[in-house]
Amino acid sequence: MIKVFHAPRSRSTRVIWAAEELGVPYEVVPLHFGAPPPPEFLEVNPAKTIPAMRDGEVMMTESVAIMQYLADRYAGGRLTVKSDQPNYPDYLQFLFLGEAGLGAPLNAIIGTRFMGPPEVQDNWTCTMVLEGFFRRLILVDRQLARHPYIAGDDFTLADISVVYALGIVTGLLERADRVPAPILDYQRRMTERPAFQRMLAA
């Protein structure tokens, strides 16, 4: 059984959402921010970052890579786009943009705003990172003006990747006021999916 080390609102939500969409069985090993991590988690991920996944001897720690692994290994590539399909470039672009361009830079803001001393919680770096996020949303907005989903006419793992990052800004950072209405509508549609709702209960 695949084990997913999971903390609510962390990047492990991508993994569980993907598993639910793909119908891949998994076991959740709950983690809690601030609590000592269990030894079995440290064996998979000594860096102590979330998520982590174990599938027999396979151990992975990057949420986007884990999603692709689950789809290719257990679901015949469902929710992905093949390299010979015309929307393959869009799929790759937004699958990775969701983390590399949107999600990962927000770590600096989260660490500073929620763990830094008061005098630095709204510093220049945080402002610039957030402005960079909203600049990149122009790409998302343009894509959604052309298609109902981020990689084209069908739901893919790229949607999961992007929607997680949107959730950080609209939820944790409370900046939905800066997100264009079509993107908020897209986020609502994606988070109403039954698999997303099942993920919330995991």
pLDDT at 34: 84
Same domain, 126 and 145: yes
181 within a domain of the structure (yes/no): yes
- How far is Cα 17 from Cα 12, in angstroms, rounded to an integer? 9
* CB count in 10 Å sphere of residue 127: 11
Instruction: Please tell me whether residues 39 and 16 are part of one structural domain.
Output: yes
| CA pair distance 140, 98, nearest whole angstrom | 10
Q: Indicate the residue among 17, 50, 79 that finishes a domain.
A: 79
Indicate whether 124 belongs to any domain.
yes
CATH number of the domain enclosing 59: 3.40.30.10
Tally of domains in the chain: 2
Q: Please give the pLDDT value at position 114.
A: 85
Which structural domain range is residue 17 located in? 2-79
Residue 160 and residue 107 in one domain = yes
What is the residue-level pLDDT of the chain in tens, covering all 202 positions?
999 999 999 999 999 999 999 999 999 999 998 899 999 999 999 999 999 999 999 999 999 999 999 999 999 999 999 999 999 999 999 999 999 999 999 999 998 988 888 888 888 889 999 999 999 999 999 999 999 999 999 999 999 999 999 999 999 999 999 999 999 999 999 999 999 999 999 9
Q: Are 78 and 26 in contact (CB under 8 A)?
A: no
Do 13 and 60 fall within a single domain?
yes
Tell me: do 134 and 176 sit in the same domain: yes
Same domain, 125 and 155: yes
Contacts of 40 (CB under 8 A, 6+ apart): 3, 29, 54
Same domain, 168 and 118: yes
Give pLDDT, residue 188. Answer: 99
Residue 202 located in a structural domain = no
Last residue of a domain, one of 79, 109, 142: 79
In this predicted structure, what is the pLDDT of residue 119?
84
Flag whether 200 is in a domain.
no
